[in-house]
A and B are shown apart, each in its own frame.
Chain A
Amino acid sequence: MTTNILEMRNITKTFPGVKALSDVTLDVERGTVHAICGENGAGKSTLMKVLSGVYPHGTYTGDIVFEDETVEFKDIRDSEAKGIVIIHQELALSPYLSIAENIFLNNEQTGPLGLIDWNKTNHEAAKLLARVGLKENPTTKILDIGVGKQQLVEIAKALSKRVKLLILDEPTAALNDEDSDHLLDLILHLKGQGITSIIISHKLNEIKKVADTVTVIRDGKTIETIQKTDVTEERIIKDMVGRDLEHRYPDHTPNIGAEILRVEDWTAHHPQDPTRVMVDEVSLNVHAGEIVGIAGLMGAGRTEFAMSLFGHTYGTRISGKVFKHGIEIKTRTVSEAIKNGLAYATEDRKHYGLNLLEDIKRNIALASLDKLSSNGLVNDNEEYKIADGYRKSMNIKAPNVLAKTGKLSGGNQQKVVLSKWIYSDPDVLILDEPTRGIDVGAKYEIYAIINALAAEGKGIIVISSELPELLGICDRIYALSEGRITGQLPIEEASPESLLKLMTMEKPR
């Protein structure tokens, strides 16, 4: 019997057109905490989905050996039956059910006649809550407890399934410091009880605190596995970003003019939990013709900043000042923001960017209908002409602009979103993850478009979780961590290492 509880051997997983995992190998020793690190999109979550049966056996190649036995999971129930439980970043709890009901969801504690035995349910739940150190009544509803406690309920639920290998996907991303510390302590405590954990995280300090072993994944490949004694921040960062920067970005000669936009002390709070500061006194500026990057890890408050700025579409208790060409402007509603020359292309095209039921033409026109209309009537033919112009200049691959946007590929959808905002003729464009979910060829085209817009004298803010992308196209990069700007680097001084250091810099406590 080996000391490894899990061995994943030569795992390769392909999605249409993309190799998400290539020949990944992962050994996890029994009774340890194993951290998996990597940039967003490196393949961490895909690997865990293969392990937990979300991607069933047969959709990947390679072997999974769990407790010395080759396993072939058909679905998540199979893996749970063996004692592998995954806790996703978005918690899978039902808000209107009690803690106890959630713990035993689909594993109900029944008495005779198959009816639920409430005494047993609540009693067992209380015992589990004690194990995870959560002092709450099992009958309390999930929506009445904070997200940190909800995370503990998830772990209690995992314990109820006699978990042997617990997988936590970015467990502290949504937690405050106190809750994070408690959670990490609990993971160590469970280790003492013989439960092995895999924790996905890119918070280096928490990795150092709990992990015995760290595996770094990059571009769907295992880079190396490091023992605790050898873990250093520099080594992990180097492993995470070490890809060679090929010629993936079009040439960009900056021609930077006067300051267009300045934001001072921008602060926004969480809409449901106004005590949480999501954007913390952010100050930044953009010049004409400048491409400014905002780098931040997931949960750093990038989108929250952009959306709170753009018509207060995120958050409550928003404060701060915005200046355009030195004159203060307001951006309280989206139409006010548009009128003042702002545009925001969302990171989530499908939910916030496009009306997928409508054609290309109408999507492009939507933010600028007043330009296309007189007396409240839209000039259809002019709209067609404008949209067709964008179809050609942006190389949107569709037979004509009457094609529904729901049928386009991600890259072409993104070009429609960009066309819409370019047509609104803004002074400053905020592009949130402009190349997410887009293939390499289309990415190059998007970068070329961004360059051309800067060359026209517009100010561009690019939010991205891909550091190479920011380093490839920006003139200046701000780093955001926990809602605060932790530094800015001109492109000459920026490197993945220097940025990651700023991006993981925590609030002084």
Chain B
Amino acid sequence: MTNTQTPVTEETAAGGGIHPTENKFTSWLSHLLADLGKNGIFLALLAVVIFFAIVTDGILLRPQNISNLIVQNGYILVLAIGMVMIIIAGHIDLSVGSVAAFVGACSGVFAVSWGLPWWLSIILSLGIGALVGVWQGFWVAYVGIPAFIVTLAGMLIFRGLALVVLGNANIGSFPTEYRALGNGFLSNVFGDLDLDPLTLIVAAIAVVALIVGQFRTRVARQKYGQEVEPIVWFVAKLVLITLAIGFFAYALASYKGIPVTLIVLAVLVLIYGIIMNRSVFGRHVYAIGGNRHAAELSGIKTRKTDFLLFVNMGVLAALAGLIFTARLNLAGPKAGDGFELEAISAAFIGGAAVQGGVGTIGGAIIGGLIIGVLNNGMSILGLGIEWQQAVKGLVLLLAVAFDVYNKRRSGGK
């Protein structure tokens, strides 16, 4: 740090920094508004939940339904994590549904036809996903073919290969451990009680970890002289989140406990959240999406980053395929149909920008949950698949329109 002291004489520093003297109320208000802007997606989810809770007479919020919400959408959320990373880097992946079907078919061959142990089947299947990613990443990153084309081809290729592997038949009846990935619950460790204690304990640990983590971040920021939100607002937010987790945990505990899918998801969100927020790799992804030339001229290996993103997407698509197959207890030719569209929608509803550079893992998860609640709520209402499709399309359009409007208003280009 010998090089940061670059003095600028006082008289040239005309204007000085902008530090408007705000009174407490306006500072409070500006924080509230800024947070509303940042958390607009949370509010959207909340609004959708409240709307469907009312129109379904509370069926939406029944314990069993809340549990279903996770289990039925788990694979979309897994895909959304990989998809939003691809989209942030300025690409797209249309092949994930076909890849999920292909890997599901392969896992059927491994676990059922060949009778391999469940864990070996899962590892082999994830490996195949990685190979698919290597294949697509090679064409995108090193040959330079637009991802839209490569993955459109992949969509056909892997759908076709899935049919080849299945030999035009369904493969079914997977081992119990395998099926747990999609259907299992972590419960009854303490016996069959009305409220599963394990679920409540895990939730309590999660809440404590969250609060401690948030406080530590806040203290560290203050130590480094960064601005932090007012303490009242900070506490209020924690209380709200605690209540939400509490309600959610209570619902799960009074049904069957924690779904295995949820555990898988929680681990993924944690890991990928850290990757995108805190890791060098994550910074590179945002930098490439925001300005590829500038990233290159900053010494970032853009090709390698693109390549790794597609490998990662391949693995996550494989995992989604496994969860889906496990849930149905069947590897079939129609598996994964339309998954790519739901995953892409989730990323965009969650605030990712079409031209890249913008998006978050959390946003994509919430976007996926919004789609999930829409699916679930409309099913409860007995709306046909045709209307569900139309409504989801409209929501996607409005979400992106809102984003574009926001950007234009804030003067971006």
Residue of A nearest to B291 (CB): A355
Contacts of B384 in A (CB 8 A): none
Known: A352-B297, A373-B280, A390-B4. A444 touches B287 (CB 8 A): no
Known: A355-B294, A362-B283. A444 touches B2 (CB 8 A): no
B382 on the A face (CB < 8 A): no
In Å, the complex CA distance between A370 and B279 comes to 10
Known: A370-B280, A378-B279. A406 touches B8 (CB 8 A): no
Interface SS of B by simple majority = loop
In Å, the complex CA distance between A136 and B15 comes to 59
Known: A355-B286, A420-B298. A377 touches B274 (CB 8 A): yes
Contacts of A380 in B (CB 8 A): 278
Q: Are A377 and B8 in contact (CB under 8 A)?
A: no
In Å, the complex CA distance between A445 and B6 comes to 10
A423 on the B face (CB < 8 A): yes
A338 on the B face (CB < 8 A): yes
Residue in B224, B283, B301, B411 whose beta carbon sits within 8 Å of that of A407 in the complex:
B411
Kindly identify, within residues 373 to 395 of chain A, every residue whose CB is under 8 Å from any CB belonging to chain B: 373, 376-378, 380-382, 384-386, 388-390, 393-395
Q: Are A369 and B283 in contact (CB under 8 A)?
A: yes
Residue of B nearest to A448 (CB): B8
B168 on the A face (CB < 8 A): no
Number of A-B contacts (CB under 8 A): 148
In Å, the complex CA distance between A422 and B3 comes to 7
B296 on the A face (CB < 8 A): yes
In Å, the complex CA distance between A366 and B287 comes to 8
Known: A355-B290, A448-B12. A334 touches B299 (CB 8 A): yes
Contacts of B283 in A (CB 8 A): 362, 365-366, 369, 378
Q: Are A352 and B293 in contact (CB under 8 A)?
A: yes
In Å, the complex CA distance between A400 and B19 comes to 9
Q: Mark B189-221, 1 if CB is under 8 A from A, else 0.
A: 000000000000000000000000000000011
B26 on the A face (CB < 8 A): no
Q: Are B291 and A399 in contact (CB under 8 A)?
A: no
A351 on the B face (CB < 8 A): yes
In Å, the complex CA distance between A382 and B225 comes to 11
Q: Which of the listed residues B8, B224, B294 has the most CB atoms from chain A within 10 Å of its own CB?
A: B294
In Å, the complex CA distance between A376 and B212 comes to 23
Interface residues of B (CB under 8 A from A): 2-9, 12-19, 220-221, 223-227, 274, 278-281, 283-284, 286-287, 289-291, 293-301, 353, 357-358, 411-412
In addition to A397-B15, A420-B298, 20 A-B residue pairs with Cβ atoms within 8 Å of each other are A250-B9, A346-B297, A352-B291, A354-B294, A356-B290, A356-B291, A362-B286, A365-B283, A376-B280, A376-B281, A381-B224, A384-B221, A384-B226, A389-B4, A398-B18, A399-B17, A400-B226, A422-B3, A445-B13, A448-B7
* 8 pairs of residues in contact across A and B, judged by CB atoms under 8 Å: A358-B286, A367-B299, A369-B280, A369-B284, A388-B225, A395-B8, A400-B227, A448-B12
